[in-house]
């Protein structure tokens, strides 16, 4: 009977750090946007009220502080690198559990166990700067979980079925779902940006036509439009949708080839090659973030 794979402690540490850093980073972007937008609105009303003007200036000050924190905290880099670390640990875990290279079932158990421990320690050393932000876990550290060993000790058909359901199909579903989700979000935010720009244009025309009237918030909607654009660039919905579609297509081809595997040796090589393919996608994703 197949069991859902539980990963080494390092995976959960990196995964939790990635999630919390992502939330922190995006929350700060939203905070900066809200402070700036409210400041612009108050500044607009500040044309006739000094209280509004002073409040607007205060909000601009806090917006500057939020921006400085956003840059200096480097939460985006922590998010990207801890995600890459988590995915590397996951890939190694699947290789070990299924008996793929370099954790072949033909090797002695002690040799294989020492090998995976060395590889996990090497990953931790490579990402040593992240460990400062890991949750305190004391001595409760698992390198090889009981679930990993249980799956490794199953027969060929059971391990093959496990890998198909819990790795290949899981990855295929993830990329298909997120490709569609990002496509929809891209359309929504792009539409919102266009609406804001149209409103800014209309109010600018009205301001030119009726200069004696001060209440034409063209600048407010133009600012809102620029922040929506910034959000689109930050989230990269369109780029991610295209990338996820391509990755889903590649995984579909992997799935087709998987059905032709007939023995352990082929399975060992196939899993190793598949995990290398998954790792390339994660490496390319990290490279795209670093290029920003």
Average pLDDT on 77-84 reads: 89
Cα of first residue to Cα of last residue in the chain, in angstroms, is 45
Band of pLDDT at residue 1, cut at 50, 70 and 90? very low
Residue 168 lies in a domain: yes
Residue 4 lies in a domain: no
Band of pLDDT at residue 49, cut at 50, 70 and 90? low
Q: Is 236 left (phi over 0), alpha (psi -120 to 50) or beta?
A: left
CA–CA dist 198, 215 (Å, integer): 17
Is residue 125 within 8 A of residue 137, CB to CB? The reply is no
In this prediction, residue 198 carries a pLDDT of 93
Name the domain count of the chain.
1
Band of pLDDT at residue 67, cut at 50, 70 and 90? confident
Kindly report, residue by residue over 244-264, the tens digit of the pLDDT. Answer: 888 888 889 889 988 889 898
Q: What is the pTM of this model?
A: 0.81
Phi, psi of 212 (to 5 degrees): -70, -15
Band of pLDDT at residue 182, cut at 50, 70 and 90? very high
Is residue 271 within 8 A of residue 95, CB to CB? The reply is yes
Residue 3 lies in a domain: no
Residue 1 lies in a domain: no
Kindly report, residue by residue over 189-223, the tens digit of the pLDDT. Answer: 999 999 999 998 998 898 888 887 777 788 888 88
Tokens of 96: 């070990």
Q: Which residue, among 16, 76, 20, has the nearest Cα to 288 in the 3D structure?
A: 76
Helix 237-258 with 218-235: angle, nearest 10 deg: 20
Range of the domain at 275: 9-290
Lowest mean pLDDT among 57-61, 86-90, 155-159: 57-61
CA atoms within a 13 Å half-sphere pointing along the CA-CB vector of 251: 24
Is residue 178 within 8 A of residue 196, CB to CB? The reply is no
Residue 107 lies in a domain: yes
Residue 2 lies in a domain: no
Residue 204 lies in a domain: yes
Band of pLDDT at residue 21, cut at 50, 70 and 90? very high
């Amino acid at each position: 009977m197949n069991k859902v794979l539980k990963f080494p402690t390092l995976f959960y540490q990196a995964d939790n750090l990635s999630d919390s850093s992502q939330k922190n980073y995006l929350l700060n972007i939203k905070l900066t946007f809200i402070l700036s937008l409210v400041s612009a609105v108050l500044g607009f009303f500040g044309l006739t009220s000094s209280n509004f003007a002073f409040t607007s200036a205060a909000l601009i000050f806090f917006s500057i502080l939020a921006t400085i924190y956003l840059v200096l905290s480097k939460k985006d880099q922590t998010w990207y690198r801890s995600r890459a670390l988590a995915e590397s640990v996951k890939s190694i875990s699947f290789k070990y559990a299924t008996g793929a290279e370099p954790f072949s079932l033909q090797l002695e158990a002690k040799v294989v166990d020492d090998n995976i421990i060395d590889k996990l320690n090497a990953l931790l050393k490579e990402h040593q700067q992240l460990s400062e932000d890991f949750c305190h876990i004391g001595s409760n550290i698992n390198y090889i979980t009981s679930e990993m060993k249980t799956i490794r000790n199953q027969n060929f058909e059971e391990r093959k079925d496990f890998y198909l359901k819990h790795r290949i199909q899981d990855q295929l579903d993830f990329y298909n779902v997120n490709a569609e989700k990002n496509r929809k979000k891209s359309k929504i935010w792009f539409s919102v940006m266009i609406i804001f720009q149209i409103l800014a244009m209309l109010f600018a025309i009205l301001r030119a036509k009726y200069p004696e009237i001060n209440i034409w918030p063209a600048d407010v909607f133009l600012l809102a439009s620029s922040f929506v654009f910034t959000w689109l660039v930050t989230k990269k919905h369109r780029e991610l949708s295209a990338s996820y579609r391509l990755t889903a297509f590649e995984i579909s081809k992997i799935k087709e080839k998987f059905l032709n595997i007939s023995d352990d040796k082929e399975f060992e090589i196939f899993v190793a090659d598949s995990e290398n393919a998954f790792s390339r996608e994660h490496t390319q994703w990290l490279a795209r973030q670093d290029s920003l």
